[in-house]
């Protein structure tokens, strides 16, 4: 019996799956347990946050036999070799030594799920697009990326950007510097439960010492923007179109660097999973002029019913690799 833990740590939540494999030749999981923990981002939460997460995982799943438990994980904000080493050392201190299967970024975890060849685009609080291919001559893998510089970067498309653009537009309307109030303007006031948008300042800039997840609050506005766009709000439609153009630009950049004639592209993340994500993001992206020049196939990963579960798929790939 082999046990395996898979971790998908993101900016809004962390999903952890613990599974047992009785017959590795069939790669069929026996008992599967799944739990969601708080968000974890290496850049923001560092080693202190990692230690807390590891303790919670060990306690929740009551893991006793660490030596016979494989572990793989994809972590938001962990796009460098240094971050991988830091996270690996964190797990080693808790007993995971010879059995650390793979520590990587959240985007690389998705690449594992599509066989490590192709492109993936994650769109949540922020976004990142990465791609991988095998070089034709020496067989070494080529890895490229676009974006992933953090959701606070002005050009980083994601839920945070949508939320900030909506707040900025609404504040201009409040001041009389913009157009007449729109559906989006009223929805933002309702979202923050204020009668005057000037009242959101303490919410965006909470006093020192008061714990507040401002980033999640702002990124959560993306749902408001998407719904308003679905209802025909001109401002919201403009913001959503811009973000689709940005996503297409990211995919195009990665595809061009890879030099692939055709490519499989996996889409994942909270924005694509939104109730209006298919209508406003996925469908326009598949029809985008910048991407239609190439032979690209866009699929969703872990978003729609019947999708491949990227974390489970990555866990299966790791077990197969261990048996080879």
Check which CATH number belongs to the domain holding 278 and give it: 3.30.420
pLDDT at residue 91 tops 70: yes
pLDDT band, very low/low/confident/very high, at 24 (cuts 50, 70, 90): very low
Q: Is the pLDDT of residue 63 over 60?
A: yes
Structurally, the chain folds into a number of domains equal to 3
Residue 251 CA, chain-centre distance (Å), reads: 15
Last residue in a domain, options 182, 207, 231: 231
Calculate the CA 29 to chain-centre distance: 25
- Sign of the torsion formed by the C-alpha atoms of 88, 94, 98 and 102: negative
Dist. CA 23–CA 44, nearest whole Å: 39
CA distance 192 to 169: 15
The rounded distance, in Å, linking the Cα atoms of 259 and 257 is: 5
Query: What does the alpha-carbon distance between residue 223 and residue 191 come to, in Å, rounded to a whole number?
Result: 10
Q: Are residues 93 and 74 in the same domain?
A: yes
**Residue appearing with tokens 């595809």:** 255
Residues 264 and 149 in one domain: yes
Start-to-end C-alpha separation, the chain: 17
Q: Which residue has the tokens 């707040």?
A: 167
- In this structure, the answer to whether residues 134 and 169 fall within a common structural domain is no
The SS3 assignment for 323 reads helix
The reply to whether 12 and 82 lie within a common domain is yes
Residue 284 belongs to some domain of the structure: yes
The reply to whether 248 and 133 lie within a common domain is yes
Would 22 be classed as within a structural domain? yes
Average pLDDT over residues 28-34: 71
Confidence of residue 211 (pLDDT cuts 50, 70, 90): low
Query: CA neighbours within 13 Å on the CB side: how many for 117?
Result: 11
Distance between CA atoms of residues 285 and 97, nearest Å: 42
Check: CB of residue 281 under 8 Å from CB of residue 240: yes
Higher pLDDT, 29 or 263: 263
Same domain, residue pair 216 and 84: no
Residue 278 CA to residue 180 CA, distance in Å, equals 29
CA 113 from centroid of its chain's CA atoms? 14
Going 319 to 322 to 323 to 324, the CA torsion angle's sign is positive
Residues in the chain: 324
Same domain, 145 and 251: yes
Residue 47 sits in which domain range?
Answer: 2-114+307-323
Q: If you average pLDDT over residues 49-66, what whole number do you get?
A: 89
| Mean pLDDT computed over 13-24 | 77
Residue 69 to residues 100, 106, 157, 242, 305: CA-CA distances in angstroms? Answer: 9, 21, 37, 45, 30
Q: Which of 30-39, 181-190, 232-241 is modeled with the greatest confidence?
A: 232-241
Contact between 6 and 17 under an 8 Å Cβ cutoff? The reply is yes
Q: Give the pLDDT band of residue 210 (cuts 50, 70, 90).
A: low
The distance from CA 38 to its chain's CA centroid, rounded to whole angstroms, is: 14
Q: Work out whether strand 2-9 and strand 69-75 pair parallel, antiparallel, or are unpaired.
A: parallel
On whether the CB atoms of residues 266 and 162 are closer than 8 A, the answer is no
Residues 148 and 258 in one domain: yes
**Does the structure show a pLDDT above 60 at 235?**
yes
| Whether 120 contacts 110, CB under 8 Å | yes
User: Same domain, yes or no, for 126 and 145?
Assistant: yes
Side-chain-side CA neighbours of residue 50 (13 Å) = 26
- Computed over every residue of the chain, the mean pLDDT equals 85
Nearest to 223 by CA among 186, 172, 184: 184
* 259 SS3 class: coil
Query: What is the DSSP-derived secondary structure letter of residue 76?
Result: B
Q: What CATH code is carried by the domain that includes residue 19?
A: 3.30.420.40
The verdict on residue 315 lying in a domain is yes
In terms of domains, do 59 and 185 share one? Answer: no
């Amino acid at each position: 019996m082999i046990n395996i833990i898979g971790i998908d740590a993101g900016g809004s939540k962390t999903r952890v799956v613990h599974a047992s494999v009785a017959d590795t030749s069939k790669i069929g999981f026996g008992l599967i347990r799944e739990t969601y923990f708080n968000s974890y981002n290496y850049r923001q939460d560092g080693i202190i946050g990692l230690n807390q997460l590891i303790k919670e995982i060990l306690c929740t799943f009551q893991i006793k036999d660490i030596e016979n438990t494989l572990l793989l994980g994809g972590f938001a904000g962990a796009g460098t070799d240094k971050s991988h080493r830091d996270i690996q050392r964190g797990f080693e201190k808790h007993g995971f030594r010879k059995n650390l299967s793979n520590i990587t970024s959240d985007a690389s975890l998705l690449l594992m799920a599509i066989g490590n060849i192709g492109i993936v685009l994650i769109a949540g609080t922020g976004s990142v697009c990465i791609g991988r291919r095998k070089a034709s001559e020496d067989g070494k893998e080529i890895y490229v990326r676009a974006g992933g510089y953090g959701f606070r970067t002005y050009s980083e498309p994601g839920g945070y950007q949508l939320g900030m653009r909506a707040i900025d537009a609404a504040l201009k309307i409040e001041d009389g510097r913009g157009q007449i109030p729109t559906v989006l303007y009223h929805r933002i006031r309702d979202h923050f439960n204020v009668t005057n948008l000037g009242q959101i300042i303490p919410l965006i800039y909470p006093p020192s010492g008061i714990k507040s997840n401002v980033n999640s609050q702002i990124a959560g506005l993306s749902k408001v923007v998407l719904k308003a766009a679905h209802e025909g709000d001109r401002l919201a439609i403009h913001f959503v179109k811009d973000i689709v153009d940005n996503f297409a630009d990211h995919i195009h950049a990665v595809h061009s660097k890879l030099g692939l004639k055709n490519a499989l592209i996996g889409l994942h993340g909270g924005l694509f999973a939104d109730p209006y994500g298919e209508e406003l993001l996925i469908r326009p992206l598949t029809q985008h002029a910048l991407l239609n020049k190439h032979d690209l196939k866009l699929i969703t990963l872990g978003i729609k019913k019947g999708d491949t579960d990227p974390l489970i798929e990555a866990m299966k790939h790791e077990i197969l690799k261990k048996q080879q």
